[in-house]
Amino acid sequence: MPEKLTEDQLTSHLARLPQWRRDGDTLRRTVQARDFPAAIAVVDEVARVAEEMDHHPDIDIRWRTLHFAVSTHSVGGLTELDIQLAQRIDAVTDNE
Ligand SMILES: C[C@H](O)[C@H](O)[C@H]1CNC2=NC(N)=NC(=O)C2=N1
């Protein structure tokens, strides 16, 4: 079971994730793709990454706008896995 990050750890990680905001025990980021198929392609790639990590974001699809929410449900908080998943989502969406 991963451990919850401390406030200090979270603060330093978030400094390197400028596109993410903290909402309590969740990290959130919105991505605007160029059109609906491009948004679905991003979701598809994020799904591949999530399966590889066995760590899964909540994804809300609104036409070409994607809302990602990342949290570790099993510990009820934020862990290193959430930071890694956020970085991987950034890498997938770099060219959006
Ligand atoms: C059995 C499996 O490892 C767990 O259910 C995993 C799967 N993906 C998960 N994803 C997220 N975000 N949080 C979890 O606690 C979690 N648990």
ipTM attached to this prediction: 0.88
48 located within any domain: yes
Report which ligand 1 atom has the smallest distance to the Cα of 75.
15
Ligand 1: centre distance to CA 69 (Å): 13
Ligand 1: centre distance to CA 80 (Å): 13
Ligand 1: centre distance to CA 85 (Å): 12
53 located within any domain: yes
User: Could you tell me the mean pLDDT of each successive run of 10 residues in the chain, 96 residues long?
Assistant: 94 97 97 98 98 98 98 96 98 84
The reported pLDDT for the residue numbered 1 is: 84
63 located within any domain: yes
17 located within any domain: yes
Ligand 1: centre distance to CA 40 (Å): 22
The reported pLDDT for the residue numbered 85 is: 98
| Total of domains in the chain | 1
- Domain of 37 in residue numbering reads as 7-93
CATH number for the domain that contains residue 23: 3.30.1360.20
Q: Are 87 and 57 in contact (CB under 8 A)?
A: no
1 located within any domain: no
The reported pLDDT for the residue numbered 46 is: 98
Vertex 57 angle, CA 55 and 63, to 5°: 150
Q: Single out the residue of 16, 38, 41 nearest to residue 27, CA to CA.
A: 16
The reported pLDDT for the residue numbered 94 is: 81
The reported pLDDT for the residue numbered 95 is: 66
Mutate to test the pocket of ligand 1, among 49, 54, 85 (most ligand atoms within 8 A of CB): 54
The reported pLDDT for the residue numbered 32 is: 97
2 located within any domain: no
